[in-house]
Structure 1
Amino acid sequence: MSQRRIAIIRGDGIGPEIMDATLTILEAGGFTADYVNLEAGLSAVEKGLPAMPPETVEAIREIGIALKSPTTTPVGGGHVSANVALRKALDLFANVRPTRSIPGVKGPFEDFKIDLIIVRENTEDLYAGIEFQPHPDMAQAVKVITRPGSNRLHRYAFDMVRKQGRKKLAAVHKANIMKLTDGMFLEEFYKVAKEYPDIHAEDIIVDNCCMQLVTHPERFDAIVTENLYGDIVSDLCAGLVGGLGLAAGANIGEKCAVFEAVHGSAPDIAGKGIANPTALLFSALMMLRHIGENDTAKRIGRAVLKVAGEGKHVTRDLGGTAGTAEYTDAIIAAL
Structure 2
Amino acid sequence: MTRISATLIPGDGIGPEITEAVTTILEAVDAPFVWDRQHGGLDGVAHGGDPMPQATIDSIGRTRLALKGPLTTPVGGGFRSVNVRMREAFGLYANVRPVRTMVKGGRYEDIDIVLVRENLEGLYVAFEHFIAVGDDPRAVAISQGVNTRVECERIVKFAFDYAVRNGRKKVTLVHKANVLKALTGLFLEAGRKIAKEYEGRIACDDRIVDACAMQLVLKPEQFDVIVTTNLFGDILSDQLAGLVGGLGMAPGANIGPDAAIFEAVHGSAPDIAGKGVANPLALLLAACLMLEHVDEAAKARRIREAVALVLETDRVRTPDLGGTATTTDFARAVTRRLGT
Range of TM-score over shorter length:
over 0.9
Query: Hey, what does 1:99 align to over in structure 2?
Result: 99
Query: Hey, what does 1:33 align to over in structure 2?
Result: 33
Classify 1:329/1:204 alpha carbon distance in 2 versus 1 (closer, same or farther; 3 Å).
Answer: same
Deviation, 1:48, is 5.0
Query: Hey, what does 1:177 align to over in structure 2?
Result: 179
Query: Hey, what does 2:3 align to over in structure 1?
Result: 3
Match for 1:132 among 116, 129, 134? 129
Query: Is 1:74 matched up with 2:74?
Result: yes
The equivalences for 1:157-306 within 5 A come to 157-197=159-199, 198-306=201-309
In the alignment, the residues of structure 2 paired with residue 58 and residue 127 of structure 1 have an alpha-carbon distance, to the nearest angstrom, of: 25
Match for 2:117 among 115, 120, 123? 120
Give the share of equivalent positions with the same residue, in percent: 50
Tell me the SS of whatever aligns to 1:266. Answer: coil
TM-score (norm 2): 0.95
Contact 2:129 2:142 (8 Å CA) reproduced: yes
Q: Which amino acid aligns with 1:29?
A: V
Deviation, 1:46, is 2.9
TM-score (norm 1): 0.96
In the alignment, the residues of structure 2 paired with residue 257 and residue 284 of structure 1 have an alpha-carbon distance, to the nearest angstrom, of: 12
Following TM superposition, where does structure 1 have runs of at least 4 consecutive aligned residues deviating by more than 3 angstroms? none
In the alignment, the residues of structure 2 paired with residue 311 and residue 269 of structure 1 have an alpha-carbon distance, to the nearest angstrom, of: 24
In the alignment, the residues of structure 1 paired with residue 131 and residue 58 of structure 2 have an alpha-carbon distance, to the nearest angstrom, of: 36
Deviation, 1:273, is 0.3
How many residues are treated as equivalent by the alignment?
A: 332
Q: Which amino acid aligns with 2:123?
A: L
Deviation, 1:296, is 0.9
Contact 1:206 1:229 (8 Å CA) reproduced: yes
Write the deviation string for residues 52-91 of structure 1: whole angstroms up to 9, x where unpaired: 2233223212211100000111112221111111011111
In the alignment, the residues of structure 2 paired with residue 77 and residue 141 of structure 1 have an alpha-carbon distance, to the nearest angstrom, of: 23
Q: Which amino acid aligns with 2:166?
A: Q
Query: Hey, what does 2:321 align to over in structure 1?
Result: 318
Deviation, 1:294, is 1.2
Q: Which moved more, 1:139-148 or 1:182-191?
A: 139-148
Deviation, 1:42, is 0.9
Write the deviation string for residues 186-208 of structure 1: whole angstroms up to 9, x where unpaired: 11001111110121111100000
| Structure 2: gaps of 5 or more residues | none
Q: Which amino acid aligns with 1:23?
A: T
Contact 1:107 1:239 (8 Å CA) reproduced: no
Contact 2:103 2:244 (8 Å CA) reproduced: no
| Structure 1: gaps of 5 or more residues | none
Structure number having the greater strand percentage: 2
Q: Which amino acid aligns with 1:133?
A: F
In the alignment, the residues of structure 1 paired with residue 143 and residue 48 of structure 2 have an alpha-carbon distance, to the nearest angstrom, of: 29
Question: Over the residues paired in the alignment, what is the CA RMSD in angstroms?
Answer: 1.3
Contact 2:2 2:32 (8 Å CA) reproduced: no
Deviation, 1:160, is 0.4
Query: Is 1:22 matched up with 2:25?
Result: no
Q: Which moved more, 1:43-52 or 1:8-17?
A: 43-52
Tell me the SS of whatever aligns to 2:248. Answer: helix
Query: Hey, what does 1:58 align to over in structure 2?
Result: 58
